[in-house]
Copies of this chain bind each other. A is one copy, B any other.
Amino acid sequence: MYPNWILQRAYLTPNRVGLTFEGKQWTFEEIKEISVQRAGQLAALGIDRGSRVAILGENDADTIFVMYACMHLQCEMVILNRKLTKSELAYQIEDAQVTTVLVHDQDMPLLPENVDFRLFSEIENSDWHSIEIRKEWQAEQTISIMYTSGTTGFPKGVRQTVENHQSNALSSVLNIGLSEKDVWLCAVPLFHISGFSILVRSLLYGNEVKLYRKFDSELIAQDIISGRVTHISLVAVMLERILHVLEEREAKASPAFKLVLAGGGSFPIDYLKRAGERGMKVLQTYGMTETSSQTATLPAEDAFRKIGSAGKPLFFNQIKILGAKEPFEEGEICIRGPHVTPGYIGRFENNPSTEDGWLHTGDIGYLDDEGYLYVVDRRSDLIISGGENIYPAEVENVLMGHPAIKEAGVCGMEDDTWGQVPVAFVVLKKDAAIEEILEYCKGHLAKYKVPKNVYVVDALPRNASNKLMRRKLKELLS
């Protein structure tokens, strides 16, 4: 049994500021009061304790209050990715069998048809039922569900429990330390584990979250220069833009600024050097939806000694390389610990997420002689573009649904801005214009997943058992 984080935090430090957003601020006591009221309003609108709901909302205080209301009601929250197309969202909503989608008014146009929903404004203006808010949560209770794709190309809903989130936050504090003056800037999406985990840490640590609706390199750079914030979570493309502002202004991060938690794929060494020159410590991390954020993190002091490494596991986590008997031997990265998901929902409900407690990530890597992890190859040829994961199989599935396409292969290409972008190789069965194929993709795929180029080829590279060899796709261009 663990305490309801929101109630306990408000009890312990009621007057500390817990959230700031667009010039407004809320103490933990205020956050509790609003979220308890929203919980009563949700109950009045027929949302039952423990039911499964979906949430679609931008980075906004209102989204947080609705999320916390769901947590009070011990609902399982399917947190929807706002960048997805209607058909992608419809798949998740159906797969998760949610009772209702709670939608930020601004995001109404993103919602697929024929879905039960409630607008945030409806909730906020509703009467409310007096309900019992439980002071304790079970460790194994599901707090959130996030969809991630896999080898099959069908997104899987990943359960993230109280224990998963909490142990991750506690492991992290043992790694990076804590002061009550810490302020964490959140400009990554709340619908990603990178953003949601900032909220969890705030409730456990009692620190302020400075939330941004959108990434804004000028304003964020200013927060870092002035020391208004101490921590920030970033993907590579964001760091580069912030560095650019600092460099233009010939400014440095405040000594009060502590660190960048750097996720979503590896960071170019040049960015790390430039960050060092601007007084910014960058901690690269290896995490995923199935581990409720960080599994391993590389300390800033090792950034140059261990280039390309994702560091060592956090305190409660273990990493092993399947089949490796010696340091430097490559194999599948397996993860164990209280932060590993107990499993999936929907069509993958019966697929176990672990074997003997070990999550088989599908990623390939090795541990060096000091136990530092190096990720060599991401699972299923995963493409990471601006911090968003793109699974080639999912894009290929869509392409093959086009009437002119016989075969399709997708891989990532290096890109200065986004790290990687997806490109497609197709074998046609009848003539089709590239523009028309791209248009088709846009109807079925989130914008960031749409191939930047489609190349028509005679045949795709396949191995002896006829399996597509995605790593050989690029050679078709030379």
Contacts and interface: CB of A to CB of B under 8 A. Distances in A.
Contact of A178 (B12, B135, B136, B173): B173
A173 B177 CA distance: 9
Interface string A10-46: 0110100000000000000000000000000000000
Interface stretch (A1-9, A61-69, A96-104, A431-439): A1-9
A177 B173 CA distance: 9
A315 B370 CA distance: 35
A12 B177 contact: no
A315 B3 contact: yes
Interface string A161-180: 00000000010011001111
Interface in A311-351: 312-313, 315-316, 318, 336, 338
Nearest to A204: B174
A215 interface: no
Nearest to A169: B174
Interface string A207-226: 00000000000000000000
A448 interface: no
A418 interface: no
A357 B1 contact: yes
Interface in A70-98: none
Contacts of A135: 318
A238 to B, nearest CB: 27
Contacts of A403: none
A165 B205 CA distance: 19
A419 interface: no
Contacts of A312: 11-12
Interface in A163-207: 170, 173-174, 177-180, 204-206
A371 interface: yes
Given A1-B357, A12-B313, A136-B318, 5 more contacts: A3-B315, A12-B312, A174-B178, A174-B206, A179-B179
A29 to B, nearest CB: 11
A401 to B, nearest CB: 44
A86 to B, nearest CB: 41
14 contacts: A2-B316, A2-B338, A3-B318, A11-B371, A12-B315, A14-B370, A170-B170, A173-B173, A174-B178, A174-B204, A174-B206, A177-B177, A177-B178, A204-B315
B205 A174 contact: yes
B173 A174 contact: yes
Contacts of A136: 318
Nearest to A181: B177
Contact of A3 (B1, B2, B180, B316): B316
Interface in A284-324: 312-313, 315-316, 318
Contact of A315 (B8, B14, B174, B180): B8
A177 B174 contact: no
Contacts of A315: 3, 8-9, 12, 204
Contact of A179 (B1, B177, B336, B338): B177
A9 to B, nearest CB: 8
Contacts of A9: 315
A336 B318 CA distance: 30
A357 B135 CA distance: 14
Contacts of A318: 3, 135-136
Contacts of A313: 12
A14 B372 CA distance: 13
A170 B370 CA distance: 27
Q: Kindly name the residue among A135, A178, A179, A204 whose own CB sees the greatest number of chain B CB atoms within 10 A.
A: A178
A43 B1 CA distance: 37
A220 B246 CA distance: 45
Nearest to A179: B177
Contacts of A8: 315
Contacts of A174: 173, 178, 204-206
